[in-house]
Structure 1
Amino acid sequence: MTAVKGFPAFPPQRAGARFATSWWGLAWIKAMEDTSLDHTLLRKGRAYAKTGQVGPIAVSPGRLAATTEGEYDTVVRVAQLTDAEWERFLDQVAAQSGHIAALLDGEVPHALVEAAEDAAVPLLPTVGDLEPECDCPDWGHPCKHAAALCYQTSWLLDGDPFMLLLLRGRGRTELLEALQLRDAPTPAATGMSALAAFSLGVPPLPAPPPVAVEYVPLELEEAAGVDVAALKVLAASASARARDLLSGGSPAVLTERQDRVRLAAEHDLDIGDAPAVLAWQYGGPAGLEVLEHAWTPGRQELARAEAAWQREELPPVQAARNRWTLGSLQLRLGRDGRWYPFTLREGEWWPSGAPERDPAALAY
């Protein structure tokens, strides 16, 4: 039997942190949530998963296990594939070299899952495939502890799709060894199979890049009519932008106001406009733009954000163009596709944190 794989406990996550981001991780969560009849326990499970109430996770064929909330033994069982099902699955993997290459690259191709389903091999779990067990007093199916374990497992699946195969009965090593015993697909005249390519090993890394030259501040003497402090700031700024250009970057062309705010943000200068300086520190030109200008996003952009918001069961917001307001919190969608948080201070909206792609991550 494949050895058990252990994973350290996930630390508490920031408020609004997402679970699965891969489509197969989302399918895992859906299989668990569709089985549940108690959404309150699911909500508690999400909270337990994000606040670090799940201990180290052990993954083995057909079994997930962890100690939750410090005292409960929680297990989630997954139906293992039979030997016949594994043979049919390996046939589908071996049929296209791209399938194993994608798995090794951390992806689960839709085409592979569809081909497995056509061969009557259930790779992804569906309703009823996950069987939770826990010695807590909850009667839910799953209880909040098993739900928390499943939610955290979605992070493991995002990081390594071979975890899904291990739960179905075979780990990475067994799968690769079984594939090596099969005839590889005939390589094209100008290429080779994925298995042959991966067997070549990892080439040596290139030489490290040259050490960057550290900027040495100018040593200037006081002179009549010369603001030495300002000159030092300008010299440091010009040096930084020159390094960007020399390293292949292309610093954006800034307006006079943007450049003034940039200098204040980078060199702790007081220009009498603290919100603008904060906006630059959190988001650069895009942060300043979203502070000072409202705009009307496309419906598709807002629909994705609304779906993420509803998935976390967050309260409704007051929406106006690119701005969502929830009490003393306001989220503003920038033209760069990121949401910027603002808080209300004495009747004025101030930037209050770094932007996120998912507005739900900023809701707490």
Structure 2
Amino acid sequence: MTDARGFPAFPRQRAGARFATTWWGRAWIRALEDTSLDRDLLQQGRAYAKTGQLGPITVSPGRLAAVAEHEYDTVVQVEQLTAAEWDRFLDQVAAKSGHIAALLDRDMPADLVEAAEAAGVPLLPAAGDLEPGCTCPDWACRHAAALCYQASWLLDADPFILLLLRGRGEHALIEALRRREPPTAPGTPAREAFACGTPPLPPPPPPGPFTPLGLDPAPGVDVSALEILAASAASRARELLTTGDLPRLTEHQDLVRMSAEFGLDLGLDAEVEAWRHDGPAALDVLEKPWTPTRQDLARARAQLEAAWEGTPPAGLHTTRNQWTIGDRQLRYGKDGRWYPFERRGTTWWPAGPPEPDPASLLD
């Protein structure tokens, strides 16, 4: 059975129709537009795509194809993943059950793309990865550009189209994932399980803030500092008992945490404010600017373009992972979320908790 999929021709679109609404669809368009040096060609391609001047589209491993006006055969080639790359990608998908569920729900999880990228598996195309071809006489072909623009609509609706272009269709992928599922261990009959009864639960941790210990001071011992350390240990123990997880903190992070929890005045006001918004992740964004990878940058630009509806605001200034507009700033975190900042004097201060969608921070 072939993995090729056919789609009917797109009709003429309404005025103002957008080509992609998902972040991965926008990344596809970014790859197309970063590859082309001819802005007029792209404009013609957009017009051809919206006015329905392409025939039905066929998607197969490594290949997009359609018939344009005057029976021109238009093709866009995409490099397929190797067998080793597919194995690494499937390992990343199988490592988290939510990835499979998201794909089946026609969503492309950003953390899956990041994990694949870290494993050396490029899913989203970058500049130069799309190779157009057409039988028309033009050296720079508007038909291929139109085909790429229309493909963004297909990708929006079904991210499996992207995986098919990279070499494997949905059915082959699902079957490969099933083969990776561990064998199911024999279970206990329900009658036997219920007969065991329910063991008593441990008592819950004491609610409310930590109370002073009432220690008698000893020579050379700062009782107030000791009480803060004891309160901190109790707070961390309660977190471990409640969540089952206790992230490792550096000495600096732990100092900021204690300042935030116990109101210590150590000159870490901005750091404390960041911590109260989102803990270590927000503190990291405040203190450590970073340069996004090509993949991260494409995803960030796509999200911002969607938020701005394609038109950046006046006075926009970009530096590494920071987008600044006057006295407001958005910082793109390594976790794929956006962190708002505001200028106070000459310093940038955290202005709220992070959001996955920058549009909610631009109102």
TM-score normalised over the length of structure 1:
0.51
* 2:3 aligned counterpart, secondary structure: coil
In the other structure, the counterpart of 1:221 is none
Deviation (angstroms), 1:186: 9.1
In the other structure, the counterpart of 1:168 is 166
Whole-angstrom CA distance in 2 between matches of 1:185 and 1:38: 54
In the other structure, the counterpart of 1:5 is 5
Deviations 1:184-217 (A, max 9, x none): 5999x9xxxxxxxxxxxxxxxxxxxxxxxxxxxx
Change in CA separation of 1:310 and 1:70 when aligned onto 2, cut-off 3 Å: farther
Whole-angstrom CA distance in 2 between matches of 1:309 and 1:175: 34
In the other structure, the counterpart of 2:288 is none
* 1:131 aligned counterpart, secondary structure: strand
2:156 paired with 1:155: no
| Greater than 4 Å deviation, 4+ residue runs | 184-187, 303-306
**Following superposition of structure 1 onto structure 2, how do residues 41-120 of structure 1 map, counting pairs within 5 Å?**
41-120=41-120
Matching residue's letter, 1:169: G
Matching residue's letter, 2:309: A
2:22 paired with 1:22: yes
Change in CA separation of 1:115 and 1:139 when aligned onto 2, cut-off 3 Å: same
Deviation (angstroms), 1:307: 3.6
**Following superposition of structure 1 onto structure 2, how do residues 324-363 of structure 1 map, counting pairs within 5 Å?**
none
Matching residue's letter, 2:8: P
Matching residue's letter, 1:144: R
2:129 paired with 1:126: no
Deviation (angstroms), 1:68: 1.1
Deviations 1:292-332 (A, max 9, x none): xxxxxxxxxxx979942648xxxxxxxxxxxxxxxxxxxxx
Deviation (angstroms), 1:72: 1.1
In the other structure, the counterpart of 2:340 is none
- 8 Å contact from structure 2 (residues 68, 74) kept in 1: yes
Matching residue's letter, 2:169: G
Deviation (angstroms), 1:183: 2.7
For structure 2, the residue ranges without an aligned partner over 5 or more in a row are 188-303, 313-363
- 8 Å contact from structure 2 (residues 48, 146) kept in 1: yes
- 8 Å contact from structure 1 (residues 166, 172) kept in 2: yes
- 8 Å contact from structure 1 (residues 81, 169) kept in 2: yes
Q: Note the aligned Cα RMSD (angstroms).
A: 2.4
* 2:55 aligned counterpart, secondary structure: coil
- Equivalenced residue count is 196
In the other structure, the counterpart of 2:253 is none
- Taking only the aligned residue pairs, the percentage that are identical comes to 71
- 8 Å contact from structure 1 (residues 64, 76) kept in 2: yes
- 8 Å contact from structure 1 (residues 49, 148) kept in 2: yes
Deviation (angstroms), 1:106: 0.9
Deviations 1:275-307 (A, max 9, x none): xxxxxxxxxxxxxxxxxxxxxxxxxxxx97994
Matching residue's letter, 1:151: Y
Whole-angstrom CA distance in 1 between matches of 2:181 and 2:175: 12
- 8 Å contact from structure 1 (residues 2, 170) kept in 2: no
- 8 Å contact from structure 1 (residues 97, 185) kept in 2: no
* 1:66 aligned counterpart, secondary structure: strand
**Following superposition of structure 1 onto structure 2, how do residues 29-48 of structure 1 map, counting pairs within 5 Å?**
29-48=29-48
Deviation (angstroms), 1:135: 1.3
Deviation (angstroms), 1:9: 0.1
In the other structure, the counterpart of 2:309 is 308
TM-score normalised over the length of structure 2:
0.51
Change in CA separation of 1:67 and 1:85 when aligned onto 2, cut-off 3 Å: same
Whole-angstrom CA distance in 1 between matches of 2:123 and 2:90: 12
* 2:309 aligned counterpart, secondary structure: helix
